[in-house]
């Protein structure tokens, strides 16, 4: 108990600094890292050289591949927004139906997932909330809908960054974790559209549009399931966006909602503009397909990458002591190539391309520091045995641990605002606890991520982002009151489902 309490101090400090003192995330992460280094050396007996070496490797992993992915994803999004074609995508989704409520479902749920697939970082919340106000929704309602819709795709945001991080800190294959996360996320995906309808138009909206919610949820979840299990987990959100949109289009061919509320937003664009607007996503899918399934390209991508043993770490560090630099088939590199091809196809000037990249660097500069520090903290805790001590303490709950493991992920995301950070901080602890109580460690690790995304709707950073986007700064409290109950309800449903899977159906 004593060692576990000491091991929890860096995490508690981080959470208090973020949630209580509202300190900037990079500062809080650096302080948490300093505390972890001190405890690792003085209490847990990790030699100082190994402690600092593990922190350096964690920071390096934070920069590559995680920041490399985020940087190029944000840049690609800025490139698209520098052209007229980004607005074409939104109007194309709206053209599926003249009912403003279905348009809102498509914009927040489907289009939001499309943005999340390559960008994440709160970008879908900011963009879709503004689009929803243009459809005629009040600023508060638009912000609430955008916040809650972003919970469905966040486990696979920025081409699977949270899963990749989870794989690194738990030493399980990313494809295996991604496939399991896709199956678990699909359940949430079916429920989220029903909540969105209640937020959109109350019980009346649910009564009139429940077939649309059901079809959109099944299409979204089906897309997640298929892409994560049979294609590549990095493009899961593309499959979800495509699945929900196509499913709704098919439904609307033979069904129309009662009490239809028409939108006045213009929705006509030429076929050429529509094709060009979606071309970046087609390029992205094509490049992933090439490096994943085409033999020579797959071989080349694997050959030019390399791995090396991180200096200063002992054999006891296991898989964490190996640093993989697979630069050619990295999601970040694929996003970079996609951006270059997109700029050429959409005739974006070289000046705009360079300026957009500079803007992307400026936008995420402090996030770079925060991510590197959080991953350094996670590596120090893992290598020193602090994560193991926490896991063994949590295992004292026995198999009941499976019931509240998801709440740990939810709490991590609610405080840090990032599923990637929550996975880095708690992934190894979840695995250690699962081993101790005899439940599936992969299931507990994945649950940390999938349940964690429900905390995005109540994260302070996202609440502030949504409020600012719709012109309601300092109204975060009102937004929180409207989404908190729904976030906790879906968390409870997921936790019960996971407990049944872990104990009854194991």
pLDDT tens readout for residues 61-101 = 889 888 888 788 889 888 988 988 888 888 887 788 888 88
CA dihedral 239, 243, 246, 250 (to 10 degrees): 160
**Range picked from 15-29, 143-157, 391-405 for highest mean pLDDT:** 143-157
What's the confidence (pLDDT) of residue 318?
Answer: 58
Range of lowest pLDDT (227-236, 304-313, 438-447) = 304-313
The tokens of 42 are what? 């003085």
Q: Who wins on pLDDT, 334 or 220?
A: 220
What's the confidence (pLDDT) of residue 266?
Answer: 55
Whole-angstrom distance, CA of residue 180 vs CA of residue 450: 10
The pTM assigned to this predicted structure is 0.84
Residue 461 has pLDDT above 80, yes or no: no
- 3-class state of residue 443 by DSSP: helix
Q: Taking residues 365-388, what's their average pLDDT? A: 88
What is the number of structural domains in the chain?
Answer: 1
Question: What is the pLDDT confidence band of residue 380, given thresholds at 50, 70 and 90?
Answer: very high
Question: 50 near 383, Cβ under 8 Å?
Answer: yes
Percent of the chain with pLDDT over 90: 42
Residue 317 has pLDDT above 60, yes or no: no
Non-local CB neighbours of 202 within 8 Å, separated by 6+ positions: none
C-alpha distance from residue 20 to each of 16, 153, 423, 462 (Å): 5, 28, 21, 16
**Range picked from 297-301, 312-316, 465-469 for highest mean pLDDT:** 465-469
Q: Who wins on pLDDT, 308 or 407?
A: 407
Domain containing residue 230: 1-505
Whole-angstrom distance, CA of residue 268 vs CA of residue 261: 19
- 3-class state of residue 256 by DSSP: coil
Residue 219 has pLDDT above 70, yes or no: yes
Range of lowest pLDDT (175-184, 249-258, 303-312) = 303-312
Range of lowest pLDDT (74-88, 247-261, 262-276) = 262-276
What's the confidence (pLDDT) of residue 371?
Answer: 84
Whole-angstrom distance, CA of residue 340 vs CA of residue 355: 14
What's the confidence (pLDDT) of residue 136?
Answer: 82
Q: Taking residues 249-253, what's their average pLDDT? A: 92
Residue 354 has pLDDT above 90, yes or no: yes
Query: Locate tokens 């944000």: which residue?
Result: 74
What's the confidence (pLDDT) of residue 265?
Answer: 52
Question: What is the pLDDT confidence band of residue 322, given thresholds at 50, 70 and 90?
Answer: confident
Identify each DSSP E strand in 70-184 by its residue range: none
Q: Taking residues 473-498, what's their average pLDDT? A: 89
Quote the DSSP letter at residue 99. B
The tokens of 10 are what? 């860096």
What's the confidence (pLDDT) of residue 316?
Answer: 60
What's the confidence (pLDDT) of residue 241?
Answer: 93
Query: Per this entry, what is the length of the chain?
Result: 506
Residue 46 has pLDDT above 70, yes or no: yes
Query: Locate tokens 């104990």: which residue?
Result: 503
Q: Taking Cα atoms as reference points, which of 154, 96, 79, 136 lies closest to residue 355?
A: 79
Quote the DSSP letter at residue 323. E
Q: Taking the CB of residue 259, how many other CB atoms lie within 10 A of it?
A: 12
Query: Locate tokens 């560090």: which residue?
Result: 317
Range of lowest pLDDT (80-89, 203-212, 430-439) = 80-89
Question: 94 near 265, Cβ under 8 Å?
Answer: yes
What's the confidence (pLDDT) of residue 452?
Answer: 92
Percent of the chain with pLDDT over 70: 94
């Amino acid at each position: 108990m004593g060692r576990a309490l000491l091991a929890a101090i860096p995490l508690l400090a981080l959470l208090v600094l973020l949630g209580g003192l509202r300190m900037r995330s990079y500062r809080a992460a650096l302080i948490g890292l300093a505390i972890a280094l001190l405890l690792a050396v003085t209490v847990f007996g990790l030699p100082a050289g190994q402690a600092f070496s593990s922190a350096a490797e964690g920071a390096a992993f934070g920069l590559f591949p995680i920041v490399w992915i985020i940087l190029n994803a944000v840049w690609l999004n800025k490139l698209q927004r520098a052209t007229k074609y980004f607005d074409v995508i939104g109007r194309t989704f709206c053209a599926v139906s003249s009912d403003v409520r279905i348009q809102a479902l498509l914009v927040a749920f489907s289009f939001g997932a499309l943005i999340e697939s390559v960008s994440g970082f709160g970008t879908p919340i900011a963009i879709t909330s503004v689009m929803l106000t243009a459809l005629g929704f009040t600023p508060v309602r638009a912000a609430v809908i955008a916040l809650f819709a972003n919970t469905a795709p966040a486990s696979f945001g920025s081409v699977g960054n949270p899963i990749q991080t989870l794989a690194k800190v738990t030493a399980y294959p990313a494809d295996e974790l991604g496939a399991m996360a896709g199956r678990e996320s699909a359940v949430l995906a079916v429920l989220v559209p029903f909540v969105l309808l209640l937020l959109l138009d109350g019980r009346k909206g649910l009564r009139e549009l429940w077939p649309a919610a059901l079809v959109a949820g099944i299409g979204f979840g089906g897309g997640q399931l298929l892409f994560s299990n049979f294609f590549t987990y990095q493009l899961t959100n593309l499959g979800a966006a495509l699945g929900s949109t196509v499913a709704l289009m098919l439904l609307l061919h033979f069904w129309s909602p009662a009490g239809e509320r028409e939108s006045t937003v213009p929705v006509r664009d030429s076929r050429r503009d529509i094709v060009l607007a979606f071309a970046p996503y087609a390029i992205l899918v094509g490049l992933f397909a090439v490096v994943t399934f085409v033999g020579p390209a797959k071989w080349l991508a694997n050959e030019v990458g390399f791995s090396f043993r991180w200096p200063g770490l002992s054999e006891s560090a296991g898989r964490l002591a190996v640093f993989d630099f697979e630069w050619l088939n990295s999601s970040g590199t694929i996003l970079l190539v996609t951006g270059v091809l997109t700029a050429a196809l959409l005739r974006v000037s070289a000046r705009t391309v360079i300026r957009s990249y500079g803007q992307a660097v400026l936008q995420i500069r402090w996030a770079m520091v925060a991510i590197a520090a959080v991953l350094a903290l996670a590596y120090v805790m893992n290598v020193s045995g602090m994560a193991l001590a926490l896991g063994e303490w949590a295992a004292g709950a026995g198999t009941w641990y499976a019931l509240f493991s998801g709440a740990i992920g939810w709490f991590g995301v609610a405080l840090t605002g990032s599923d990637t950070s929550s996975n880095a901080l708690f992934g190894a602890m979840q695995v250690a606890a699962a081993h101790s109580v005899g439940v599936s460690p992969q299931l507990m690790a994945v649950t940390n991520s999938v349940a964690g995304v429900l905390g995005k709707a109540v994260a302070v950073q996202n609440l502030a982002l949504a409020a600012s986007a719709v012109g309601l700064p300092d109204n975060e409290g009102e937004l929180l009151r409207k989404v908190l109950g729904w976030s906790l309800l879906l968390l409870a449903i997921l936790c019960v489902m996971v407990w049944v899977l872990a104990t009854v159906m194991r």
